[in-house]
Amino acid sequence: MAEQFDVVIIGSGPGGYVAAVRAGQLGLKTAIIEKEKDARLGGTCGLRGCIPTKALLNAAHLYQKAGEFEHFGLKVDGLSYDWPGVQKYKSDVVAKNSAGVTYLMKKNKVAVYNGFAKILGPGKVEVALADGKKETLQTKNIIIATGSVVRPIPGFETDGKTVVNSDHILELQNVPKSLVVMGSGAVGTEFASVYHRFGSEVTLVELLDRIVPLEDAEVSKELQRAFKKQGIHVETDLKLDKMEKTKSGVKVSGKNAKGETITLEAEMLLVAVGRMPYLEGLGLENTKVKVSQRGTVEVNEFCQTAEPGIFAIGDVLPTAQLAHLASDEGILVVEQIAGKKVEPIKHNLVPNCTYCDPEVASVGLTEAKAKEAGYDVKIGKFPFSASGKARILGETDGFVKIVAEKKYDEVLGVHIIGPHATELLAEACVGMALETTAAELGRIMHAHPTVSESVREAAEGVHDQTIHM
Ligand SMILES: Cc1cc2nc3c(=O)[nH]c(=O)nc-3n(C[C@H](O)[C@H](O)[C@H](O)COP(=O)(O)OP(=O)(O)OC[C@H]3O[C@@H](n4cnc5c(N)ncnc54)[C@H](O)[C@@H]3O)c2cc1C
């Protein structure tokens, strides 16, 4: 007889596995299905996304720091790196993380199926198991958490050697001498930061008129300035439309805003221009689940699809492709299955994080978006060049910018570029969730010396009351 579950989750990324943990905690009989070879759990985030990239970024950061040791009065002779060693460090972190997810499944009594899941209809999921057998699971609820894959770009087909995507570039055997990165979002800028610091000559290309185009315009400008200072070449307003392989690598070209043809040659091209939901072979035709023209699953604010008992979370949705958002959606769905009262996710409070060098992080409205929305806006800004702790760290590029509105002084957005930006953002998220005013945030005592004081100073700046500027 088929196994009976309360909830079957398809996909073990940060959406699926977090949903499984909470389901276990709430006493729901839960199964998770993952197609990844050897039942490696963790999804894109754990295996090919957040975790491995941040390990490489950390190694790159330490290597760069070691190169700057003289600034701190320290000496390192014969500094070099061992690329296979860097790759091993990254792979070890990934393996430990994935093992941690496996442990969490066990701890929360979640049944793990290693195989490809197909929905046969509401309440019925078939698993083509890794050992070739098939099993059908009966369930009251199904959660689609099948995530996303790299979106192929016509004319820029990857071969895993000279033309690579974000999956390939994580596994390189050698650091390329030169690298063109197509796309300046989080993935593009992070890999530019990794490989530049390990010695590649990097050119970052963006179609729009500024890099990290979803961030506040001043953040884009500051990042471009910092990249230029470091030696990363940036081309904005450039629409690449041609690629050809050469003896030594690859040549790409396109027209810039002035109509000039720009040609770039490198040993390697990284195509970093987007991902698409992965719904292949999932059996949605056996359900009433609706998929939009863009290929995303249509849900309401409670992540319910058009088919009762089938939910969707994470990268299959049209919202931001972020691990923490996928996880929160997983919790939202499982808690409603368990009969708890839940609130829809507040998308204006989803933190954005880019771990390039310097880091970029933001929450809420940019200055331009706040004005567009009709707010009368006040800005507070504090540069890390005026922070004692940033000087101690030797990382003074960047700033904290706070966008508040005049009438009630409510903080509408916080934008940080600089040291530990992705960590500093947490207090902005808490503050904005509690509808803080700039005056309140500016009155919270912060430990000294910390880079977090810059958040307080920026909040004080909204009322022209920064202390250290
Ligand atoms: C290079 C890179 C860096 C990133 N860095 C960050 C970051 O720093 N911070 C951040 O927040 N986000 C980051 N992201 C985005 C983040 O990885 C995703 O938003 C997140 O993984 C989405 O989670 P998910 O659970 O929706 O799906 P995924 O993590 O994609 O997991 C889906 C899982 O479902 C499995 N699956 C699919 N179909 C089936 C099936 N039919 N049967 C069985 N299993 C199936 C897949 O094998 C996969 O393991 C990064 C992404 C990339 C590519």
Q: What is the pLDDT of residues 146-177, one digit of tens each?
A: 999 999 999 999 999 999 999 999 999 999 99
**Contacting residues for 369 by C-beta, under 8 A, at least 6 apart:** 413
Evaluate whether 353 touches 189 at the Cβ level (below 8 Å).
no
Gap from CA of 327 to ligand 1 centroid (Å): 11
Give the binding-site residues of ligand 1, using a 6 Å CB cut-off.
10-16, 33-36, 43-45, 49-50, 53, 116-117, 145-148, 166, 187, 278, 282, 314-315, 321-324, 326, 353, 355
DSSP string of 166-233?
HHHHTT-SS--SEEEEE--SHHHHHHHHHHHHTT-EEEEE-SSSSSSTTS-HHHHHHHHHHHHHHT-E
Residue 1, pLDDT score? 59
For ligand 1, atom 5, name the residue with the nearest CA: 50
Residues lower than pLDDT 50 in the chain: none
**What is the pTM for the complete model shown?**
0.97
Task: Report the Cα 246 to chain-centroid distance in Å.
Answer: 33
**Contacting residues for 299 by C-beta, under 8 A, at least 6 apart:** 305, 311, 312, 317
| CA dist 391 → 395, 404, 458 (Å) | 6, 28, 17
Gap from CA of 42 to ligand 1 centroid (Å): 8
For ligand 1, atom 15, name the residue with the nearest CA: 322
Structure tokens at 211: 């890099």
Ligand 1 pocket test, pick from 50, 171, 331 with the greatest ligand atom count within 8 Å of Cβ, gives: 50
Closest among 370, 461, 381 to 415, alpha carbons compared: 381
Residue 3, pLDDT score? 77
Task: Report the Cα 395 to chain-centroid distance in Å.
Answer: 23
Structure tokens at 65: 């720091």
Q: State the angle between helix axes of 453-461 and 421-433 in degrees (0 to 180), rounded to the nearest 10.
A: 50
89-147 pLDDT, tens digit each: 999 999 999 999 999 999 999 999 999 999 999 999 999 998 899 999 999 999 999 99
Of the candidates 71, 233, 324, 448, the residue annotated as catalytic is: 448
Gap from CA of 44 to ligand 1 centroid (Å): 3
61 is catalytic: no
| CA dist 175 → 179, 249, 250, 251 (Å) | 9, 13, 16, 18
Give 78: exposed, middle or buried? Use CB within 10 Å, 0-12, 13-18, 19+.
exposed
Gap from CA of 334 to ligand 1 centroid (Å): 19
Beta strands across the sheet bearing 399-405 = 352-354, 360-364, 411-417, 399-405, 377-383
Report strand pairing: 233-235 vs 201-205: parallel
For ligand 1, atom 51, name the residue with the nearest CA: 49
Structure tokens at 32: 């998770």
Residue 380's beta-bridge partner residues?
Answer: 402
Query: CA-to-CA distance for 362 and 155, rounded, in angstroms?
Result: 33
Ligand 1 pocket test, pick from 134, 146, 279 with the greatest ligand atom count within 8 Å of Cβ, gives: 146
| CA dist 79 → 63, 75, 332, 434 (Å) | 8, 10, 49, 47
Gap from CA of 184 to ligand 1 centroid (Å): 20
Evaluate whether 105 touches 41 at the Cβ level (below 8 Å).
yes
| 31, amino acid identity | A
Ligand 1 pocket test, pick from 45, 137, 353 with the greatest ligand atom count within 8 Å of Cβ, gives: 45
**Helix (DSSP H) and strand (DSSP E) numbers for the chain:** 13, 21
Evaluate whether 201 touches 178 at the Cβ level (below 8 Å).
yes
Gap from CA of 233 to ligand 1 centroid (Å): 30
